[in-house]
Structure 1
């Protein structure tokens, strides 16, 4: 079941990274400028955010499984629309639908784990899911680069359609319903509003969720700009970009593996603090290099690897810590995180463009916000002072 959930979470990197090497060719084929081509990425991310915000709260009342099945089937159908799109405008609309349906899979995969595990066990499961799902961003750009020549960017969307079908089969055969009827609310706008107030009113949840959202924002700053920075600024080929992107994705997997091994020896919050510190430090060094150092490949690429490695310490721990604060509305909690995650990504995509300076600046800003949120809103509640009787007790 964990493998199936990880594959569901891999919908986003699959649908994002597989076609990245083909973005320049896609623009030429459809006669669209770079800004319009990047909208196919931005609208997909916006759809992922909106889809999670809608489906997550619904699942707290309707259950997880049938919504998971509907989302994966819709993802496959939208893949067909992308593959057949005659214009950039049609492709943008199809990508929005693909994002909306993919959002259901992502938010519900997190909610299913939150239904089944708590504490360090949940942190380990989220990290293991990131390791398995992390194979997708490693394989996706390499596969996309290899397929781009033989089948073109349209063929890549046909492959994504097949992935959607496979995920629907996985839901049918491997994932049971994890939210019993007695734990569901009655549904309706009033129940959704109550759950939303319960979630966003929890200070520690908000702190961990913001750390998660802006950690992903830093990652997406790299994802969105890297095809143009690596190929146009550093002068590398699409094939070389695919290899570099895959290597950096290994950083996410490696960070997640180390994080999983350290949970138990260190608290998830300590590991999360290490992750945001590494992210911010690598981002600042990268910004200094691209503004003052001359954008040397031998410096830029290792710093990007450190940025992606830090994500392995951020995403799983921040998810587990935030979900632990709102166990009575796990679907809504997951939805708010996902909406923020991909909503921010949709804003970042057109802002970073293809500029190394804008990419590095965005990474630094996101890293700074993530660190501030963890240190302020996400800090543990202080222990109450002992009473006079407790202080006098030998056990005190």
Structure 2
């Protein structure tokens, strides 16, 4: 039997993804000035990163099943280190764009391997707790990274933020070479062809995966919608200054942290079925409240429902990530890659489509918050309950 990796290693590894999004945000104006580019071109670096992170999942999963979790993690960290270093040295915006694409691909390799490594090493009951802890760590970074990035960019310049990313990944790579065991089961199933759409069919046709990955995608859509709508609602419509906006925005990260670390307790006490129903109810309540309070011009009228929905989001992720991967011990890498694809690319595309609807920003937010309930109700009830009661 393969040795179980220390949980702290999974938590340290998963940090590379949110760090690459949040740590350099305070340096945007400085980057635009230094690279002589409009701020919109700097914002594109986030879009390119997320696109590479989402689409790369479809290749990273089969690679993890074929070559193992540890080799892919090390390879992903190496790509991340090199691309972060190139970003730090960039003199043209096009080079920065290219480096961000490869940074997203490196991050993708690490994320898929972490998710499949957890599935390899722990029981279904234990993975629900670990995925909640992982989500909690992911939520810590948006609260802390901008402060670190602001200090780095003010003390040196924006390039220091990418040097920090590279240095962190190098340190973690050294620790992984020393402490991370391979977790891939000996009976792992992998296709003879790396890109073979047939390998995804058994996973996509599995009712358990369909139901849980759908909820993961819809829950993630709530967070992405919040990130895109919050600046409009709080700064443009409610006229908050940047400092006040940062405090309100960061407060949701704190809620996510608390909810993620409390989720395992709630799941254990309520059971997966009742905890999931409670989580979906919270998202639905948030949708109703954000509509009822829409005429109140105070930040809490917007952020209060967001706090409630974010708590539901943390519960859904803890339950549904583990349940979606539970049937696939022999192809955990491929299953994790599909789950990550739906969670990132699927949720981003969904929010993009919803944003095209002729609705006010708060109505869009409420609509997205109500989608988990619609999925839960429309899906077959026998699948909905059977998954968690076994």
TM range (shorter): 0.7 to 0.9
User: Contact 1:120 / 1:268 at 8 angstroms: preserved in 2?
Assistant: no
2:190, 2:331 within 8 Å by CA — same for their partners in 1? no
Q: Displacement of 1:25 after TM fit?
A: 4.5
Distance 1:11 1:83 in 2: 16
May I ask how many residue pairs the two structures share in their alignment?
378
Moved more, 372-381 or 40-49: 372-381
Which residue matches 1:251? Answer: 255
Q: For residue 87 of structure 1, what is the aligned residue in structure 2?
A: 92
Q: Offset at 1:334?
A: 0.8
Cα deviation, residue 207, structure 1? 1.3
Aligned twin of 2:183: 178
C-alpha deviations, 1:168-222, integer Å up to 9, x for none?
A: 1232122210013x31335422895443111000122111101111211211222
The residue number in structure 2 matching 1:342 is 344
**Counterpart mapping for 1:204-283 below 5 A:** 204-227=208-231, 229-283=233-287
Q: 1:120 to 1:15 in 2, by over 3 A?
A: same
Counterpart for residue 392 of structure 1: none
Q: Which residue of 1 is the match for residue 108 of structure 2? A: 103
- Counting only pairs closer than 5 Å after superposition, residues 19-98 of structure 1 correspond to structure 2 as 19-98=24-103
Query: Are the structure 2 counterparts of residues 381 and 342 from structure 1 closer, same or farther at C-alpha, using a change threshold of 3 Å?
Result: closer
Residues 297-348 of structure 1 show CA distances to partners (whole Å, capped at 9, x for unaligned) of 2322333333333322121211011111333321111101111222135547
Alignment of 1:298-337 (within 5 A): 298-337=300-339
Task: Note if 1:135 corresponds to 2:140.
Answer: yes
Q: Which runs of 5+ in 2 are unaligned?
A: 1-5
Structure 1: gaps of 5 or more residues: 385-396
Superposition map of 1:152-191 within 5 A: 152-180=157-185, 182-189=186-193
Contact 2:9 2:176 in 1 (8 A): yes
Q: 1: distance between equivalents of 2:137 and 2:219?
A: 19
1:236 is displaced (CA, Å) by: 4.0
RMSD: 2.9
Question: Which residue of the partner structure matches residue 21 of structure 2?
Answer: 16
In structure 2, the CA distance between the partners of 1:365 and 1:203, relative to structure 1 (3 Å rule), is farther
Conserved 8 A contact 1:113-1:122? yes
Distance 1:229 1:124 in 2: 34
